[in-house]
C-alpha cells in the first residue's frame, strides 16, 4: 500500500467537492479528491448558478470559462407551466428576480448552466491549480485524530489501495453521507417531502419547442405530472412516485411513455438512458464540523429544488471553508478560525432551506408542513446576496448596510485607469479599504502586511491613472460601506466584512487595526467592533 500526504482530503467529486478543490488549490493548499464515479456527472441537474456564486468563481478566475461553457438562453422567467412541452396551453411563472437588474448589486449575473456542463470546467481548472483529483476512487476507511486524518482510498477498477495522511477532511459525499453517519451527526428539519424518479432519456425535440427556452417546466396532463428540463437532445423528467411501489415501475417502456406524454408528441423517438431516484428533502445537519472533518454541500444540508439554492449554498460553503483552511494551514491564522465555519454556515443553511420551501409554495403552490407554512418569503436577490454571518438573517441586498458580518457591497472603482469592482479586490485575500482621509489606516496596514492582506486608499472621486489611490468616480464607496472619508473596512477573502471603523482612530490607529486583524485571524469579534459599531 502506497502512502501519500496532503493538506486536505476531499471525499466526493461532484459540484461541491470540485469547488472545494478549486478554491483550496488556488490558495496554494495541496488537495487530494476521491470520487467513486469514473467521471463527472452525466445528469443535467442544478439548472442555475446565482450571481453570488459567480462572484466566487470570478475570484477564482473561472467566471469566463463557466460562461463560455454553454449557458442556456432563457425565455421569460425561465420557469414554465405547460400542459405539455409543445402545447400552446402554457404560461411563464412569476419570478420577480428575473426582471431585476443586478448591475447595482454585483458585477456578475446569474448563469443558467446544467451540472454536467459545469463540473468538467471546475475539474479542469482545479487540476490546473495542482489539485490531485482521483475519480473511480472510493473511501474505504478513515480515522480522525488530534494531529490529522488517516484514510484508506481504493481504486475501484484495480482494487489498489492508498493510505492518505491529511491535515483535514472535507465530506462532500452527498445527502446520504457515510462520513456524516460515521460521525453520528443527525439532521433537523421537516425531512422527506416526496420521492422522485429522475428519468433521463434522449429525444430530439427539434423545433417542436417553438423557441421556448426554460430552466424548469412544470408539466401537467393526464399522462404526465412532474418537472422537465431539456438540454440539447436530452430530457430529464422528474416524476413523484410512491416508494411503496418501488422505482422498478419505471421500465424502459414506461419511460418512453412518460417522455412522449411530457413532450406532447405521441410518436416521439425516445431512448431511455437512466433512472435515478432521489428525495425532495429539507434538512440541515446538527453541526457542520467534528474535529478535523467538515461537512459541505448536501452532506451538510438538503433542500427542495425551488430557487436553485441547494448547489449554490454548497458552493458558498466551500468558499467559506477554503480560505479559512488556507489561512490556518499557511500559519497566518489560529485553528480557532475554523470553528466559525459551523457558526456561520449552519444558520445560513437553515434560513435558506426555509426559503427554498417558501419559494416552492410561491412558485408551484407546494404545500408546506405546518411548522414552516408561515415562513415569510424573502426577495430572491436578498436570499442570494443578503445573508449575514452575525445572526441577523437577511438584509436588503438592494440597500446593503456595509456592516461587519454582511457581504461587502459592490461598487465600481478605478485602479490604474481600469474599472474594477470592490468584489475583485478580495480575490487574492483579505483587503483593507480606507477613505481619502484614511492614510493612517493603510500605513498601519503596511506595518502588519503579509501575503494574506493587502490595502488600498479610496479617493473621493476620479483619479489620474498613475495614482496609487483607487478612484471612486461615482462617489459611492463611503456611503455604501457606511464610513466617513477617514474610515476603513476590512474585507475577508470570501467578500464578507470582518470589521469597520466609521471614522479615524487617531493615535490608536495601529492598536485598533491590530485588534481587528487579530480577531479576523482567530475567528473572534474585534473589541473595537463590539464596543463601537455593533
Q: Are 442 and 434 in contact (CB under 8 A)?
A: yes
Residue 100 has pLDDT above 70, yes or no: no
* Position 526 confidence tier, pLDDT thresholds 50, 70, 90: low
**Pick the residue with more confidence: 117 or 432?**
432
Q: What is the mean pLDDT of residues 484-504?
A: 95
pLDDT score for 90: 86
Longest distance between any two alpha carbons in the chain, whole Å: 81
User: Per mean pLDDT, which range of 19-28, 41-50, 165-174, 363-372 is the poorest?
Assistant: 363-372
User: Per mean pLDDT, which range of 98-102, 169-173, 329-333, 402-406 is the poorest?
Assistant: 98-102
User: Per mean pLDDT, which range of 372-376, 420-424, 490-494 is the poorest?
Assistant: 372-376
pLDDT score for 530: 45
Residue 527 has pLDDT above 60, yes or no: no
Quickly tell me which residue has 430572491 as its cell.
Answer: 380
- Smallest CA-to-CA distance from 384 within 453, 479, 445, 315 is with 315
H/E stretch holding 295: strand 293-295
pLDDT score for 452: 85
Q: What is the mean pLDDT of residues 467-482?
A: 94
* Position 532 confidence tier, pLDDT thresholds 50, 70, 90: very low
pLDDT score for 499: 96
Quickly tell me which residue has 439532521 as its cell.
Answer: 187
Residue 236 has pLDDT above 80, yes or no: yes
* Position 77 confidence tier, pLDDT thresholds 50, 70, 90: low
Residue 326 has pLDDT above 80, yes or no: yes
Query: How confident is the prediction for the chain on average, in pLDDT?
Result: 91
- Smallest CA-to-CA distance from 478 within 501, 494, 512 is with 501
Q: What is the pLDDT of residues 264-273, one digit of tens each?
A: 999 999 999 9
Quickly tell me which residue has 418512453 as its cell.
Answer: 256
Q: What is the pLDDT of residues 348-401, one digit of tens each?
A: 999 999 999 888 876 656 677 777 777 888 999 999 999 999 999 999 999 999
Residue 187 has pLDDT above 80, yes or no: yes
* Position 233 confidence tier, pLDDT thresholds 50, 70, 90: confident
Residue 525 has pLDDT above 70, yes or no: no
Q: What is the mean pLDDT of residues 87-109?
A: 78
Instruction: Read off the pTM.
Output: 0.92
pLDDT score for 189: 92
- Written as nine digits, the cell of 311 is 448547489
Alpha helices in 436-508 (DSSP H): 439-448, 477-481
pLDDT score for 45: 72
pLDDT score for 533: 40
Task: Please tell me the distance from the alpha carbon of residue 205 to that of residue 517, in angstroms, as a whole number.
Answer: 57
Q: What is the pLDDT of residues 137-186, one digit of tens each?
A: 999 999 999 999 999 999 999 999 999 999 999 999 999 999 999 999 99
Q: What is the pLDDT of residues 195-230, one digit of tens each?
A: 999 999 999 887 788 777 787 888 999 999 999 988
Task: Please tell me the distance from the alpha carbon of residue 216 to that of residue 279, in angstroms, as a whole number.
Answer: 18
Q: Are 496 and 430 in contact (CB under 8 A)?
A: no
* Position 524 confidence tier, pLDDT thresholds 50, 70, 90: confident
Residue 74 has pLDDT above 60, yes or no: no
pLDDT score for 207: 77
**Pick the residue with more confidence: 475 or 229?**
475
H/E stretch holding 354: helix 340-364
Say if residue 493 is exposed, middle or buried (CB neighbours under 10 Å; 0-12, 13-18, 19+): buried
- Written as nine digits, the cell of 379 is 426577495
Amino acid at each position: 500500500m502506497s502512502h501519500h500526504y496532503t493538506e486536505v482530503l476531499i471525499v466526493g467529486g461532484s459540484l461541491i467537492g470540485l469547488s472545494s478543490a478549486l478554491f483550496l488549490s488556488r490558495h496554494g493548499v495541496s488537495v487530494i479528491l476521491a470520487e467513486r464515479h469514473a467521471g463527472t456527472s452525466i445528469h443535467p441537474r442544478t439548472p442555475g448558478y446565482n450571481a453570488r456564486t459567480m462572484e466566487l468563481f470570478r475570484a477564482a478566475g473561472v467566471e469566463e470559462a463557466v460562461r463560455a461553457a454553454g449557458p442556456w438562453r432563457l425565455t421569460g422567467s425561465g420557469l414554465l407551466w405547460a400542459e405539455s412541452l409543445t402545447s400552446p396551453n402554457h404560461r411563464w411563472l412569476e419570478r420577480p428576480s428575473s426582471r431585476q437588474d443586478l448591475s447595482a448589486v454585483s458585477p456578475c449575473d446569474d448563469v443558467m448552466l446544467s451540472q454536467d456542463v459545469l463540473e468538467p470546467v471546475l475539474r479542469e481548472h482545479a487540476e490546473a491549480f495542482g489539485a490531485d483529483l482521483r475519480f473511480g476512487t472510493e473511501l474505504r476507511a478513515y480515522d480522525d485524530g488530534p494531529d490529522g486524518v488517516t484514510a484508506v482510498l481504493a481504486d475501484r477498477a484495480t482494487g489498489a489501495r492508498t493510505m492518505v495522511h491529511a491535515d483535514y477532511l472535507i465530506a462532500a459525499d452527498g445527502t446520504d453521507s457515510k462520513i456524516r453517519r460515521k460521525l453520528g451527526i443527525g439532521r433537523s428539519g421537516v425531512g422527506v417531502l416526496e420521492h422522485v424518479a429522475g428519468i433521463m432519456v434522449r429525444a430530439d425535440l427539434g423545433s417542436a419547442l417553438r423557441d421556448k427556452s426554460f430552466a424548469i417546466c412544470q408539466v401537467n396532463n393526464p399522462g404526465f405530472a412532474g418537472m422537465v428540463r431539456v438540454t440539447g437532445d436530452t430530457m430529464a423528467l422528474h416524476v413523484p412516485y410512491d416508494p411503496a411501489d418501488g422505482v422498478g415501475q419505471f421500465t424502459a417502456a414506461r419511460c418512453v411513455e412518460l417522455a412522449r406524454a411530457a413532450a406532447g408528441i405521441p410518436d416521439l423517438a425516445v431512448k431511455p438512458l437512466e433512472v435515478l431516484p432521489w428525495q425532495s428533502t429539507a434538512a440541515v445537519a446538527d453541526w457542520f464540523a467534528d474535529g478535523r472533518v467538515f461537512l459541505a454541500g448536501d452532506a451538510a444540508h438538503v433542500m427542495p429544488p425551488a430557487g436553485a439554492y441547494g448547489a449554490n449554498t454548497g458552493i458558498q460553503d466551500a468558499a467559506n471553508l477554503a480560505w479559512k483552511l488556507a489561512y490556518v494551514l499557511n500559519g497566518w491564522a489560529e485553528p480557532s478560525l475554523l470553528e466559525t465555519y459551523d457558526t456561520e454556515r449552519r444558520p445560513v443553511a437553515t434560513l435558506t432551506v426555509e426559503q427554498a420551501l417558501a419559494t416552492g409554495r410561491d412558485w408551484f403552490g407546494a404545500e408546506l408542513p405546518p411548522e414552516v407554512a408561515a415562513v415569510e418569503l424573502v426577495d430572491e436577490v436578498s436570499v442570494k446576496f443578503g445573508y449575514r454571518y452575525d445572526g441577523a438573517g437577511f438584509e436588503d441586498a438592494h440597500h446593503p448596510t456595509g456592516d461587519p458580518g454582511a457581504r461587502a457591497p459592490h461598487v465600481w472603482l478605478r485602479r490604474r485607469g481600469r474599472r474594477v469592482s470592490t468584489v475583485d479586490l478580495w480575490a487574492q485575500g483579505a483587503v483593507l479599504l480606507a477613505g481619502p482621509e484614511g492614510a493612517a489606516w493603510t500605513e498601519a496596514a503596511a506595518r502588519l502586511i503579509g501575503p494574506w492582506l493587502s490595502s488600498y486608499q479610496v479617493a473621493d472621486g476620479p483619479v489620474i491613472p498613475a495614482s496609487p489611490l483607487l478612484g471612486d468616480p461615482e462617489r459611492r464607496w463611503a456611503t455604501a460601506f457606511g464610513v466617513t472619508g477617514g474610515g476603513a473596512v476590512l474585507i475577508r477573502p470570501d467578500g464578507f466584512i470582518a470589521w469597520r471603523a466609521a471614522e479615524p482612530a487617531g493615535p490608536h490607529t495601529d492598536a485598533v487595526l491590530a485588534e481587528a486583524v487579530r480577531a479576523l485571524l482567530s475567528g473572534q469579534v474585534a473589541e473595537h467592533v463590539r464596543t463601537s459599531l455593533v
